[in-house]
Structure 1
């Protein structure tokens, strides 16, 4: 039951870790075997598609792993015939993540609680929802942050992408619509049919899904509105902001608003069948951008490293803002957050901040894992899926990263610490491959056994006996500073007293309570649970 977050410092120099290298070799071999057999225990595999994969880490511009598979469906007429990190794919809804990133870089996160009507004049004075909230959106109740986090209660696709309105077959049980009832804004097989004015003139035609701030429901509409707000606030076009704020700033070479040269594209089947040239216009902000795997890796690394953002904004951004009905999935702005709940021998929780994208035969994913300082970027072109690769990375690499982090923490922190000022004070720290964090196996402070003291102070323990290292764990914080003697880093203690306590809970109220106890033991103004280390 550790404090939420990494239980060891983020591991570094992963390319030199024998544990990690072994896992990466395992992943590479498993991918090859799975594509050869079109079978995997991690999910369905279709070897006809083209695949690109890069796993990246902070501290290195080179990927930890890259894998490319050409498949058999790349167009013979145009585009690349062999895929690599520079091959350009349509990235679908990863465009949403880029839109939020642009918004944060340009404007910060101070506008999240502002009503969207403050920044989009076209939405003001629309008050029909006061009398009819079923058919009309309550625009004045929707904030900028609600749009970014899919909790605005807006229709999923005000802009029609699927073309269902053209159905002329009554056997589906749906009425055949006259052209007068077609959606006002459509992404055809060629382009987007709406101007900004036409978009806002017609936006009241669609009904809300919920009242604002009720439930997370995926909304392309909300991201388009956010992009329109970005244009209104900055006085610049989305395409210009993308070019200067992201592409130029990060030195991206394969990311664009408009279709790049066909010769650089990973184009399955043909230009027409792949939708490679489909111009989404203003709808590109929610699903129409282009990028290479190399660029997705650069974007992901820049987010983890706070290259373009203040670190505090990044930390706030990498958090859930709503929930799904699954304990394994949360929602952010616009993150799809998946929870790996049994990593390593300690079975701890690790969150993946991801954004997937699908547009026609293109399927992409960008995932960030702050606990390990790593991420991965995937692109598929053709009839295929990246889910088996996502699962493979989590299943094989994450336990290795946890082990590498423990090994590095053991070298840097474990050992015996003895006072040099004459006091009878000793601290023994150790790691255990089956437990998170550092364990305290002996703690004498000025002649007093602190493990006995901690047991006495915990009123939930009947007939207390001295605590053991398995119950007294110390976890890293992200607080550090440079001193004359080296880098000082702060850790915090957490008590994990298992069964045998006076209260043994089950069910939902058995949730980990370690967050309640941080900084609970204080002597005057000095926290007893704070451990400061100075590293050379």
Structure 2
């Protein structure tokens, strides 16, 4: 909490006064929490302070009639009248809120974390959040329909009234947690800028589009601040989303970095539960069909790499044949170098029972290089493995043996400092594949 003086003081007080074991149950350990914890929903702090507190939204006498105990004045959030807290109110009450988990233990959604994160960004950049948002994102991307203040009502879809729909509900300093107004076109612009690295370098973007922690579902992980859903379409595909709901409104932005594509969904309706459910259903419908279609298009595009490649030099017997089938990647169906069946060599090095069990499949690495001639060299790596059934007894089957370990095999067999699994295609400026290099073998094979 180096960037938040109020929390630095709390952490210092905790360090001096920790004498009771229940301290970790009643108080978040602010000295442990990092900016990364806040951004990745791993801080273990309360979801909100003030916002949506029943003491702020429901008359206390009604709550008492429903079985709630009476509250003292000190137990009621300082910002109960407005529903959201300014900085001084937040740091007066949030340090007394109970933690949800130990720091970095388990993901737990927190709006308060993003209000604090905004304060940290203001300290780091020496700018207020509204100006930072405008200068860093809205202006550079020319987002004409995006803001943290409500635009004129004529530009919005307002089911019911402005009050009942929360169209212009003032989130105040909690706006960084989800108080943004935008259009489908602006969300698409933001998505495209992420995929094309308009504002960030490719390396920073790739680092950002990564999971931080699993949730209780193995196909649902948490990023900073992504909600990441995994699909099985012959291979694992990760969909990076940011979703949110507030009363009548729901929004989702989804990106598939593997396909350089995505979608945005905005919904509005007078029934909050129905609006939320519609957002989920539309997102599921779009993602399932989009991913399946993109995978099909990728296979069609990969057809240009298939075929037979040969060494055209005289007195040589070197060739490789590639094909697309129902499996992932590109299948190597035959591979000869100087008259030697390289698939038999793979069998030996990878200790595969029979030649028929040898599987060599090529996968794009996202590495490519364009040269002065106009050609682009595109890198692939091969996964070399056995198709043989190991006949492992049921009693010995488990998550370790049943998991995919191909990531541990990349560059596993090298010859002269070059991996046997490294392949390089040359594609000319017209988009035609003209050659392949099995790089460890130091040979170029021309497409026939």
The residue correspondences of 1:413-492 to structure 2 (distance < 5 A) are: 413-422=305-314, 423-432=316-325, 434-459=326-351, 461-462=352-353, 464-467=354-357, 471-485=359-373, 486-492=375-381
What's the CA shift for 1:186?
Answer: 4.3
What's the CA shift for 1:134?
Answer: 1.8
Q: Distance in 2 between matches of 1:184 and 1:326?
A: 37
Q: Tell whether 2:73 aligns with 1:172.
A: no
What is residue 125 of structure 1 aligned with on the other side? Answer: 9
What is residue 442 of structure 2 aligned with on the other side? Answer: none
Match among 362, 365, 385 for residue 252 of structure 2: 365
* Structure of larger gyration radius: 2
Mark the runs of 5 or more structure 1 residues left unpaired by the alignment.
1-116
Q: Tell whether 2:262 aligns with 1:375.
A: yes
What SS does the aligned partner of 1:378 have?
Answer: strand
Q: Tell whether 2:120 aligns with 1:236.
A: no
Q: Tell whether 2:292 aligns with 1:406.
A: no
What is residue 48 of structure 2 aligned with on the other side? Answer: 157
Q: Distance in 2 between matches of 1:394 and 1:288?
A: 25
Q: Classify 1:187/1:229 alpha carbon distance in 2 versus 1 (closer, same or farther; 3 Å).
A: farther
Match among 413, 424, 429 for residue 521 of structure 1: 413
What's the CA shift for 1:233?
Answer: 1.4
Q: Tell whether 2:403 aligns with 1:511.
A: yes
What SS does the aligned partner of 2:90 have?
Answer: helix
What's the CA shift for 1:187?
Answer: 7.6
Normalised by the size of structure 1, how large is the TM-score? 0.73
The residue correspondences of 1:198-347 to structure 2 (distance < 5 A) are: 198-341=89-232, 343=233, 347=234
What's the CA shift for 1:173?
Answer: 2.2
Q: Distance in 1 between matches of 2:175 and 2:389?
A: 58
Deviations 1:258-285 (A, max 9, x none): 1111111111111111111111111100
Q: Distance in 2 between matches of 1:395 and 1:212?
A: 34
Q: Distance in 1 between matches of 2:81 and 2:388?
A: 59
Q: Distance in 2 between matches of 1:260 and 1:318?
A: 31
What is residue 497 of structure 1 aligned with on the other side? Answer: 386
The answer (yes or no) to whether the contact 1:451–1:466 under 8 Å persists in 2 is no
Q: Which has the higher contact order (CA 8 A, sep 6+)?
A: 1
The answer (yes or no) to whether the contact 1:353–1:369 under 8 Å persists in 2 is yes
Q: Classify 1:421/1:242 alpha carbon distance in 2 versus 1 (closer, same or farther; 3 Å).
A: same
Q: Tell whether 2:244 aligns with 1:352.
A: no
What's the CA shift for 1:371?
Answer: 1.4
Moved more, 122-131 or 383-392: 122-131
What SS does the aligned partner of 2:93 have?
Answer: helix
Moved more, 117-126 or 348-357: 117-126
Q: Distance in 2 between matches of 1:503 and 1:302?
A: 48
What is the number of equivalent residue pairs in this alignment? 407
The answer (yes or no) to whether the contact 1:488–1:533 under 8 Å persists in 2 is yes
What's the CA shift for 1:214?
Answer: 0.7
Mark the runs of 5 or more structure 2 residues left unpaired by the alignment.
429-448
The answer (yes or no) to whether the contact 1:250–1:298 under 8 Å persists in 2 is yes
What SS does the aligned partner of 1:276 have?
Answer: coil
What's the CA shift for 1:402?
Answer: 0.7
State the Cα RMSD in Å: 1.8
Q: Distance in 2 between matches of 1:458 and 1:445?
A: 18
Deviations 1:331-381 (A, max 9, x none): 10011111112x2xxx32211111111111101111111111111111111
The answer (yes or no) to whether the contact 1:429–1:441 under 8 Å persists in 2 is yes
Normalised by the size of structure 2, how large is the TM-score? 0.87
Deviations 1:491-516 (A, max 9, x none): 00102422334768732121011111
The answer (yes or no) to whether the contact 1:159–1:187 under 8 Å persists in 2 is no
The answer (yes or no) to whether the contact 1:128–1:136 under 8 Å persists in 2 is no
What SS does the aligned partner of 1:150 have?
Answer: coil
Q: Distance in 2 between matches of 1:402 and 1:228?
A: 42
